Amino acid sequence: MEQFISVSGVKTRAITHGLGKQALTKESFGKKDIIIIIPGNPGLIGFYEVFMLKIFKTLMEKVNVLGISHAGHDVGEKNIYNAPRLRDRPELYTLHGQIQHKKDFLDEYIPHGSRICFIGHSIGSKVVVELMSHLDQTRPNDPKPCGYLLFPTIERMAETPQGQRLRMLLGPFRTPAVYASYMVYFLPEFVKNALVSWYISQPEKEDLISSVGQALKTVVNPNVLEKSLYMANDVLAVIRELDVKSLIRHGDRIRAYYGTNDHWCPVEYHTNIVQSVPGLKAELCKKGYAHAFVLKTSEEMAEQVCAWLQEDFSDLFS
């Protein structure tokens, strides 16, 4: 179910499975097992619709599965963009601002006593580690949260091949890129739909084409793209060395999944986390999934996540 909630003073898109038609509040949770999806960048939760539904169905609808978009990265109700302007609240759209946005979400909407498993994708993995620390500090008597980090961009992003390319774009070309997005945004719908279908090139995956297609069309909204590029520029500056201290603190509750040909987090970063954080379960993808798995292999990645859940939370499958 899609709904729009207020988080950090921003109307934020949420997708929930397990709450029926109830509004998202602390009181609406009948079950206290909750899986929370934290997106990458661009941070539109619509990219993860198929992924989330597959997890919910595989777990036989026993667990609440939900996720929210990053502040300013999505349109609001009736496809109207209503987030604060970048020049009015720039701090909201930095990585730190997005982390605070998710902390505010947990504090306001997630009930105490919940058993939470976070799933973070790309830069969402960094957010997840921070949220685990936040819950450990603010809810010491609750079950300890766990975190699954998918293709995690949690160290030295500016040094990666993609980071170096993006830094070139974000220098002199960030503003022109936003202006150029107007041309794509105002293309006829049938042209944009055709481009999405051609890119995904899997006509049998109608649900994926629909949800990802809508998200891709939203990304080229100039207001959304502006916030996404601003966050990307900040991330390149602040994601430096691996936060070993935090990872060691949570290590036995974290799984990390790295690609074998990922230009955002190279294989050497997998080697580094294995050597730096004893006990953390880090593995390399042997199935060839891309960093942006949501574009073509959402269901397949969901199956991998459910295999971990079955191992870590066997009671969910009984």
Please report, in tens digits, the pLDDT of each residue of the chain (318 residues total). Answer: 899 999 999 999 999 999 888 889 998 887 789 999 999 999 999 999 999 999 999 998 999 999 999 999 998 777 778 899 999 999 999 999 999 999 999 999 999 999 999 999 999 999 999 999 999 999 999 999 999 999 999 999 999 999 988 887 787 677 777 767 767 777 787 777 777 777 666 655 677 767 888 888 898 899 999 999 999 999 999 999 999 999 999 989 999 999 999 999 999 999 999 999 988 999 999 999 999 999 989 999 999 999 999 999 888 766
69, amino acid identity: S
For 183-203, b/e burial (b = at least 16 CB within 10 A) is ebbeeeeeebbeebeeebeee
Q: What pLDDT was estimated at residue 169?
A: 77
14 DSSP β-pair partners: 3, 68
Give the predicted TM-score (pTM) of the model.
0.94
**Pairing mode, strands 146-150 and 2-7:** unpaired
The structure tokens listed for 136 are 């450990």
* Residue 270 Cα distances to 149, 248, 277, 305, angstroms: 12, 15, 11, 18
Count of alpha carbons within 13 Å of 188, Cβ hemisphere only? Answer: 3
